[in-house]
């Protein structure tokens, strides 16, 4: 017994040295380049679709004319050094889906930019799309867009193509026509010099990915482009002696049919259509607002085959959880939570239609934190050096101890999850258990007061860096480790609903917006205060279904996340449910942690509605509240 204690403290010493090195030697967060991108305007890849007739004319166009005009300057000017772009989409059978447009199911709004999904053929409002699109104008046609419901990753995708003058002119006239509808003048004809050219100048960046022209020689190209398609696309009014003439307008007054010509892109091979039967996986896993929500089926495997199967990549699948693969990780004591537009927020329409909003920070209340539909290892709450598998249920360690939390935490009730080591290199180890959000990610779980862990080596249980003998012999490769946390329902001072993030600032990273929140690790390091205790709370350990007893009793108050900490390149796979790999022998009426997902969606929705109600009448687009110091 005495000998064992000595061994433990020796290995503990080694661990700590490794950690110290890690903290000093590694940049913990985003690299500088990434950081820059947080603040910079999004830059678009210059993608070119070698498609001449990209404006869908709704069947009214005259294709023969187009073919004959191939050598025209206006249409060939941008064709130099083009590369054909191949996009892949999965086309849904529209008839099987619900009617209507957008995630919000509201009508089209021609006063704002809307994008057509190449797959389901529905229109989506710019402000309902979470993907950061950059500058758009209504009636643009030079893009390929796929909505969250259709995308196999659960993430929207958007790519611009380089618009040609013919497309740009068409978009400009559509906008001028709609302005005239809005201001009641109902003009149909617009001056090339007074209306069309100024609009092109003002919205150039939104209309095309091509850099602005230095000289104004393109003005005559515009005239040529418009004149060429008088008849099929445009009407013209040539008033003699009018210095602002000639005047142009759209031949058709129906603006709702203006859209990218996806069919033509498919025909020319620039857009590839996949078999619709393979589309389902992504649509099943969405957060709030999804009409096709589903709970992920956990992989149920019998003990003993887990390690082998995992190494053979049986589990590997596409990332279909709706999170971007380049999700930012914790940096400088901040964590980042993926945000999505909130259809319930006030001033949505005003924000959508205000043109001066570009470049200004987006008020946090217009968005909401994305709550995933399944419990996974968190991308937003992990030590950056850890590698998370595509399905986000396996994690690989790196050098010294560091950890990852699950996406969901619990603060009342009895909850269970399992984990198993699928690869254990020489000297590797794990500490599995439950940790609070403030537990330092760059260390082993149980190093500070915010975590409770059970170590593979010797089966020691750790809290506040103190080890105690718990489950003799420890655990190793292939053992199914079950952890059951029991928190009181009664006299529990923890909040019933989580925080709303709507008062937090939104930051842009790559193509998405995130709420920025202090992770509390720094403040809690200096804080020596002893946390209040949850009476009659406990954490019970199970090894291959067999109860090892309570590792901890009367643990601190707080919200606890399943947490995995790893030493060296150890690989751990978790099972959050819906079924345990090995049924634990216990009388306690527990829930698998996966059940927390549905609950969290309800709780977060309530929290966001409470926020909007509480600040009803106080939220404005110019002067929104911003409480983060």
State in angstroms the smallest separation of the CB of 379 from Zn ion.
24
Do residues 459 and 475 make contact, with C-beta atoms less than 8 angstroms apart? yes
State in angstroms the smallest separation of the CB of 269 from Zn ion.
21
State in angstroms the smallest separation of the CB of 71 from Zn ion.
37
**Distance (Å, rounded) from C-alpha 353 to C-alpha 127?**
10
State in angstroms the smallest separation of the CB of 203 from Zn ion.
22
Which chain residues interact with Zn ion by CB under 5 A?
102, 104, 117, 119-120, 125, 128, 147, 150
Which residue, 147 or 264, has its beta carbon nearer to Zn ion?
147
The distance of Cα 410 from the centroid of its chain, to the nearest Å, equals: 23
Q: 10 Å Cβ neighbour count for 120?
A: 23
State in angstroms the smallest separation of the CB of 150 from Zn ion.
3
Which residue, 119 or 310, has its beta carbon nearer to Zn ion?
119
Which residue, 148 or 463, has its beta carbon nearer to Zn ion?
148
**Distance (Å, rounded) from C-alpha 188 to C-alpha 190?**
7
Which residue, 74 or 150, has its beta carbon nearer to Zn ion?
150
Which residue, 120 or 133, has its beta carbon nearer to Zn ion?
120
Which residue, 322 or 435, has its beta carbon nearer to Zn ion?
322
**Distance (Å, rounded) from C-alpha 138 to C-alpha 423?**
53
Write b or e for each residue in 485-499: b if 16 or more Cβ atoms lie within 10 A of its Cβ, otherwise e. Answer: bbbbeeebeeeeebe
**Distance (Å, rounded) from C-alpha 474 to C-alpha 458?**
4
State in angstroms the smallest separation of the CB of 87 from Zn ion.
14
Angle at 187 between CA 185 and CA 188, to 5 degrees: 160
Which residue, 105 or 550, has its beta carbon nearer to Zn ion?
105
Angle at 141 between CA 136 and CA 147, to 5 degrees: 75
Q: Which residues pair with 452 in a beta bridge?
A: 434
Which residue, 116 or 410, has its beta carbon nearer to Zn ion?
116
Do residues 403 and 439 make contact, with C-beta atoms less than 8 angstroms apart? yes
> Minimal CA–CA distance to 534: which of 590, 585, 487, 473?
487
State in angstroms the smallest separation of the CB of 290 from Zn ion.
12
Which residue, 98 or 466, has its beta carbon nearer to Zn ion?
98
Helix or strand run (H / E) with residue 487: strand 480-487
Residue 100 token pair: 């209507």
Which residue, 109 or 575, has its beta carbon nearer to Zn ion?
109
Residue 338 token pair: 């993926």
Which residue, 213 or 272, has its beta carbon nearer to Zn ion?
272
State in angstroms the smallest separation of the CB of 365 from Zn ion.
17
Distances (CA, A) of 121 to 90, 320, 397: 11, 21, 43
**Distance (Å, rounded) from C-alpha 290 to C-alpha 323?**
15
Distances (CA, A) of 198 to 64, 246, 355, 518: 31, 15, 16, 45
State in angstroms the smallest separation of the CB of 229 from Zn ion.
31
**Distance (Å, rounded) from C-alpha 255 to C-alpha 139?**
8
Do residues 391 and 316 make contact, with C-beta atoms less than 8 angstroms apart? yes
State in angstroms the smallest separation of the CB of 580 from Zn ion.
36
State in angstroms the smallest separation of the CB of 361 from Zn ion.
21
Which residues lie below 8 Å from residue 441, measured CB to CB, with a gap of 6+?
330, 381, 382, 383, 402, 403, 404, 405, 521
Do residues 575 and 419 make contact, with C-beta atoms less than 8 angstroms apart? yes
Q: Which pairing describes strands 413-423 and 591-592: parallel, antiparallel, or unpaired? A: parallel
Q: What φ, ψ does residue 453 adopt, rounded to 5°?
A: -135, 165
State in angstroms the smallest separation of the CB of 275 from Zn ion.
16
44 DSSP 8-state letter: P
Which residue, 51 or 340, has its beta carbon nearer to Zn ion?
340
């Amino acid at each position: 017994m005495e000998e064992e204690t000595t061994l433990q403290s020796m290995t503990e010493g080694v661990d700590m040295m490794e950690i110290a090195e890690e903290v000093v030697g590694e940049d913990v967060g985003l690299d500088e380049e990434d950081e820059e991108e947080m603040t910079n305007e999004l830059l678009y890849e210059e993608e070119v679709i070698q498609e001449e007739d990209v404006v869908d004319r709704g069947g009214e166009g005259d294709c023969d004319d187009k073919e004959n005009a191939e050598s025209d300057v206006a249409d060939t000017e941008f064709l130099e050094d083009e590369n054909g772009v191949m996009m892949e989409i999965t086309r849904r059978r529209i008839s099987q889906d619900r009617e209507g447009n957008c995630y919000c199911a509201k009508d089209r709004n021609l006063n704002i930019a809307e994008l057509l999904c190449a797959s389901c053929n529905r229109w989506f409002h710019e402000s309902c799309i979470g993907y950061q699109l950059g500058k758009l104008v209504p009636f643009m046609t030079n893009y390929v867009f796929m909505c969250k419901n259709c995308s196999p990753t659960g993430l929207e995708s958007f790519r611009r193509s380089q618009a040609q003058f013919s497309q740009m002119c068409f978009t400009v006239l559509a906008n001028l026509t709609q302005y005239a509808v809005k201001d009641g003048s109902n003009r149909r004809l617009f001056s090339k010099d007074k209306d069309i050219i100024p609009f092109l100048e003002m919205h150039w960046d939104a209309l095309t990915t091509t850099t602005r022209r230095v000289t104004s020689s393109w003005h005559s190209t515009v005239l040529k482009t418009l004149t060429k398609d008088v008849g099929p696309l445009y009407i013209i009014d040539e008033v003699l002696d009018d210095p602002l003439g000639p005047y142009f307008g759209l031949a058709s007054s129906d603006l709702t049919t203006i859209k990218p010509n996806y069919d033509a892109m498919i025909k020319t091979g620039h857009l590839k259509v996949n078999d619709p039967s393979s589309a389902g996986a992504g649509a099943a896993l969405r957060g709030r607002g999804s009409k096709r929500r589903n709970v992920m089926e956990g992989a149920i495997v019998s003990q003993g085959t887990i390690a082998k199967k995992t190494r053979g990549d049986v589990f590997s699948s596409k990332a279909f959880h709706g999170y971007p693969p380049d999700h930012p990780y914790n940096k400088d004591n901040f964590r980042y939570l993926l945000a999505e537009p909130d259809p319930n927020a006030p001033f949505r329409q005003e924000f959508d239609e205000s043109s001066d909003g570009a470049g200004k920070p987006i008020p946090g209340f217009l968005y909401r934190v994305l709550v995933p539909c399944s419990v996974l290892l968190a991308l937003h709450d992990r030590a950056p050096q850890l590698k998370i598998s595509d399905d986000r249920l396996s994690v690989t360690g790196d050098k010294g101890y560091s950890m990852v939390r699950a996406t969901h935490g619990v603060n009342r009730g009895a909850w269970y999850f399992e984990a198993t080591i699928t690869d254990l290199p020489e000297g590797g180890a794990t500490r599995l258990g439950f940790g609070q959000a403030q537990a330092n990610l760059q260390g082993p779980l149980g190093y500070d007061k915010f975590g409770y862990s059970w170590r593979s080596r010797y089966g020691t249980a750790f809290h506040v860096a103190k080890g105690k003998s718990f489950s003799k012999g420890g655990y190793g490769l292939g053992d199914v480790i079950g952890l059951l946390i029991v928190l009181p329902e009664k006299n529990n001072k923890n909040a019933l609903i989580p925080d709303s993030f709507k008062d937090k600032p939104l930051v842009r990273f790559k193509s998405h917006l995130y709420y920025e929140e202090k992770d509390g690790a720094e403040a809690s390091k200096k804080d020596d205060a002893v946390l209040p205790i949850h009476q009659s709370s406990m954490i019970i350990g199970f090894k291959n279904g067999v109860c090892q007893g309570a590792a901890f009793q009367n643990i601190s108050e707080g919200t606890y996340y399943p947490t995995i900490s790893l030493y060296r390149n150890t690989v751990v796979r978790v099972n959050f449910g819906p079924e345990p790999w090995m049924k634990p022998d216990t009388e306690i009426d527990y829930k698998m942690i996966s059940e927390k997902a549905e609950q969290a969606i309800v709780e977060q929705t309530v929290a966001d509605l409470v926020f909007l109600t509480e600040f009803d009448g106080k939220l404005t687009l110019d002067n929104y509240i911003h409480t983060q110091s």
